[in-house]
Amino acid sequence: MPRSPSQLRWGGRLKNRSPGAWGEDLALRYLIGHGYELVERNYRTRRGEIDLIVRKDDALVFVEVKLRRGTGYGDPLEAVTPRKQSTLRSVAEHYLYARSPHYDTLRFDVIGILADRPDVRMHHVEDAF
């Protein structure tokens, strides 16, 4: 069924994914390729959001993904400030209380993605904070 011109204006992009969602997809594929299993994606509370929650062996891992298209605003990993870390901890506490998952180890990882054309570089920091 053809779309009307007004529908094209509102949603006619070929890629309906935001850059952040694209970065999360890329990070998730990387993690799965390294033996991680997805538990939950984009866990949200009023306090904030955790991009990915994954499991590897008996470790529950909360993952923050930061994507930058250049270094004009700094390295992607620099965007995980102490304030952001505090928010992530608070959301993780809420998740643990609400879901009561089984785990032996708990950690926070950060994946920084620098998407300079034509290169895409990814840096995974385990147990970042």
Which segments of 1-129 are extended strands (E)? 37-44, 49-56, 59-68, 105-114, 121-125
Cβ-based neighbour number of residue 60 at 10 Å: 20
Token digits of residue 12: 């006619």
For residues 110 and 67, the answer to whether their CB atoms sit within 8 Å is no
Query: What is the model's pTM?
Result: 0.83
The tens digit of pLDDT for each residue in 27-62 reads 999 999 999 999 999 999 999 999 999 999 999 999
Q: What is the mean pLDDT of residues 9-22?
A: 60
Which residue bears the tokens 């950690």? 107
Q: What residue type is assigned to position 42 of the chain?
A: N
Domain ranges of the chain: 15-125
Fold classification of 15-125 is Trna Endonuclease; Chain: A, domain 1 (3.40.1350)
Q: What gap in Å lies between CA 120 and CA 83, rounded to an integer?
A: 27
Q: What is the mean pLDDT of residues 13-40?
A: 86
